[in-house]
Amino acid sequence: MKTKLKEDVDIRRTFAIISHPDAGKTTITEKLLLFGGAIRNAGTVKGKKSGQFAKSDWMEIEKQRGISVTSSVMQFDYEGKRVNILDTPGHEDFSEDTYRTLMAVDAAVMVIDTAKGIEAQTKKLFQVCRMRGIPIFTFMNKLDRDGREPLDLLEELEEVLEIDSYPMNWPIGMGKGLEGIYDIFHHRIELYHPEKYDGERFVSLNEAGEIEGDHALAQDSIYGQVLEEVELVKEAGNQFDEEMVAAGKMTPVFFGSALTNFGVQTFLETFLTFAPKPSDHETQEGQKVSPYEEDFSGFVFKIQANMNPAHRDRIAFVRICSGEFTRGMDIILQRTGKKIKLANVTQFMADTRENVENAVAGDIIGLYDTGNYQIGDTIYTGKLNIAYQELPQFTPELFMKVTAKNVLKQKSFHKGMAQLVQEGAIQLYRTFHTGDYIIGAVGQLQFEVFQHRMLNEYHTEVIMTAMGNKTARWIDPEDLDEKMSSSRNILVKDRFDQPLFLFENQFAMRWFADKYPDVELKSLL
């Protein structure tokens, strides 16, 4: 094993920030990038809000929505660590890609608005992280505003997400009354208004966990209250357990305010202490590939189309699982056995796209693609000859009927459809008897991208008719009786010819389950 490679890999920390829209993901990301020196100005992360991001000629739809590939992966150095943050878009940008991005990270940070608690999208994204068993760190945001009681928020984590929590710190007040955080983990108090006291940001605590001597804060009634709360949490709450954290069974919880940059640096430093370095990845045969393995390998977890409409190119995002990438190296694409030279490869910084010279396990690189790669593809060098585990499929919730506008375009319609489905851009279903096309997605944006790409890449105008939200459930083909189909569900086949029902709503699904108790209804993730 090359020691240089090991050293390089060991400093990598690759994670995603998950949250419900408006919880503060962009704001905290920006603060992290500022600490890392990766950006100079706030407002660089998402053009949507600042309008600063018209850097290139990516597909129109991206421009309109302000999604940019540079904000998909952000890299910076902090205190000897090389940090890779992968963006998981929220809002209407939410798509299967968002979920798949979580397949490429080693940890997740969950940002929660203290006034709102756990919201729908946080829960969905959390469940994907949970399935992977990766460590999850929680940042309770917007402490500068009045929010819910800290104990109440921790309880919600345990009840709704079923994860143990450990408060790394505890708020001293909230909103206008915010004085600081009692840092249980570092055994100190971090002041929100240092200038109000003696100017020092941190106040150390004695053995008993109290401020030594006479400090103005100690006179405040909130201080006494916090000491009591902390005491209670320490006695009745969970013990900090590093192994549980590593296994994703306990989430360390940090309170802070991203907007006012309070508690963010402490969070970053503590997070980097516990966030895992890259570890083994398992192949389909169950073989474990070490990140220190000298041969390069990785898998494609996301394909972003049409960065440049003039060239119709795409970028395939690869998570490197082992070894080192060097410019110009030849790799084998496992699915086809084809040898490909990696000449045009991108790495991502917060405000530029740069040509990457080398990258190691843990890093994400973007390969310019003219149609070679598919979601889930493994690439490798040397004798590795491996295929990493397939990426999971996610149960779509939104559906559309699709036809080609011009009947003479059937051929390109089918070709485009097949290609985009293979790429993982959209899910395809056919109605059982008539074979009508129905496409499914987890987020609305997927439909728009689909429509745009059909037109631009396959010169086919598609007509899409919204069917709205449906609950998709697969059943065993042997259980299928076509009489089960009713006005409340649609019987369709997926692209592997497996039957499933698209139920109008949860109610229709429960009605079905009651009527056919022996038929197992299965969902994907």
Q: Which residues are annotated as a binding site for GTP?
A: 19-26, 87-91, 141-144
Cα(111)–Cα(22) distance, integer angstroms? 10
Which of 20-28, 165-173, 189-197, 493-501 is the region at the interface with ligand GDP (rule: CB under 6 A)? 20-28
The yes or no reply on residue 258 touching ligand GDP (CB under 6 A) is yes
297-305 vs 314-322, strand pairing mode: antiparallel
Q: According to CB under 6 A, which residues from 208 to 227 bind ligand GDP?
A: none
Q: In terms of C-beta density within 10 A (0-12 exposed, 13-18 middle, 19 or more buried), how is residue 502 classed?
A: buried
Give the nearest distance from C-beta 157 to ligand GDP in angstroms: 18
The yes or no reply on residue 26 touching ligand GDP (CB under 6 A) is yes
In the list 24, 117, 167, 323, the residue contacting ligand GDP (rule: CB under 6 A) is 24
Residues 150/171, Cβ–Cβ less than 8 Å:
yes
Smaller CB separation from ligand GDP, 25 or 470: 25
Smaller CB separation from ligand GDP, 24 or 424: 24
Closest to 364 measured CA to CA, from 27, 37, 58, 106: 106
The yes or no reply on residue 93 touching ligand GDP (CB under 6 A) is no
The yes or no reply on residue 298 touching ligand GDP (CB under 6 A) is no
Which of 19-27, 297-305, 311-319, 501-509 is the region at the interface with ligand GDP (rule: CB under 6 A)? 19-27
The yes or no reply on residue 141 touching ligand GDP (CB under 6 A) is yes
Cα(209)–Cα(311) distance, integer angstroms? 63
Smaller CB separation from ligand GDP, 257 or 334: 257
DSSP E strand stretches across 20-143: 73-78, 81-86, 107-113, 136-141
Give the nearest distance from C-beta 259 to ligand GDP in angstroms: 3
Structure tokens at 393: 């499929």
Give the nearest distance from C-beta 59 to ligand GDP in angstroms: 22
Structure tokens at 492: 């369709």
The yes or no reply on residue 314 touching ligand GDP (CB under 6 A) is no
Q: Give the interface size with ligand GDP as a residue count (CB under 6 A).
A: 16
Smaller CB separation from ligand GDP, 97 or 293: 97
Closest to 298 measured CA to CA, from 239, 371, 244, 367: 367
Give the nearest distance from C-beta 376 to ligand GDP in angstroms: 28
In the list 65, 81, 142, 302, the residue contacting ligand GDP (rule: CB under 6 A) is 142
Smaller CB separation from ligand GDP, 24 or 150: 24
Give the nearest distance from C-beta 233 to ligand GDP in angstroms: 22
Cα(452)–Cα(354) distance, integer angstroms? 27
Residues 426/469, Cβ–Cβ less than 8 Å:
no
Give the nearest distance from C-beta 505 to ligand GDP in angstroms: 28
Give the nearest distance from C-beta 90 to ligand GDP in angstroms: 5
Cα(156)–Cα(122) distance, integer angstroms? 13
Burial 280-319 (b: 16+ CB within 10 A, else e): ebebeeeeebbbbbebbbbbbbbbbbbbeeeeebbbbbbb
The yes or no reply on residue 156 touching ligand GDP (CB under 6 A) is no
Residue 391 to residues 178, 195, 470, 476, Cα–Cα distance (Å): 44, 51, 23, 22
Cα(310)–Cα(132) distance, integer angstroms? 38
Cα(353)–Cα(366) distance, integer angstroms? 10
Smaller CB separation from ligand GDP, 112 or 230: 112
Q: How far is CA 100 from the centre of its chain?
A: 7
Give the nearest distance from C-beta 159 to ligand GDP in angstroms: 23
Smaller CB separation from ligand GDP, 121 or 460: 121
In the list 6, 10, 11, 22, the residue contacting ligand GDP (rule: CB under 6 A) is 22
Give the nearest distance from C-beta 119 to ligand GDP in angstroms: 10
Backbone angles phi, psi at 87, to 5 degrees: -80, 140
Give the nearest distance from C-beta 504 to ligand GDP in angstroms: 31
Enter the DSSP assignment of 114.
T
Closest to 72 measured CA to CA, from 35, 42, 97: 97
Give the nearest distance from C-beta 114 to ligand GDP in angstroms: 9
Smaller CB separation from ligand GDP, 101 or 257: 257
Which of 170-178, 252-260, 360-368, 428-436 is the region at the interface with ligand GDP (rule: CB under 6 A)? 252-260
The yes or no reply on residue 306 touching ligand GDP (CB under 6 A) is no
The yes or no reply on residue 90 touching ligand GDP (CB under 6 A) is yes
- The three-state secondary structure class of 381 is coil
**One-letter amino acid for residue 194 of the chain:** P
The yes or no reply on residue 322 touching ligand GDP (CB under 6 A) is no
The yes or no reply on residue 277 touching ligand GDP (CB under 6 A) is no
- The percent helix, strand, coil of the chain (3-state, each to 5) is 30, 30, 40
The yes or no reply on residue 382 touching ligand GDP (CB under 6 A) is no
Residue 463 to residues 400, 413, 433, 438, 448, Cα–Cα distance (Å): 9, 11, 21, 11, 12
Smaller CB separation from ligand GDP, 26 or 68: 26
In the list 8, 16, 18, 27, the residue contacting ligand GDP (rule: CB under 6 A) is 27
Per CB under 6 A, residues contacting ligand GDP are 19, 21-27, 90, 141-142, 144-145, 257-259
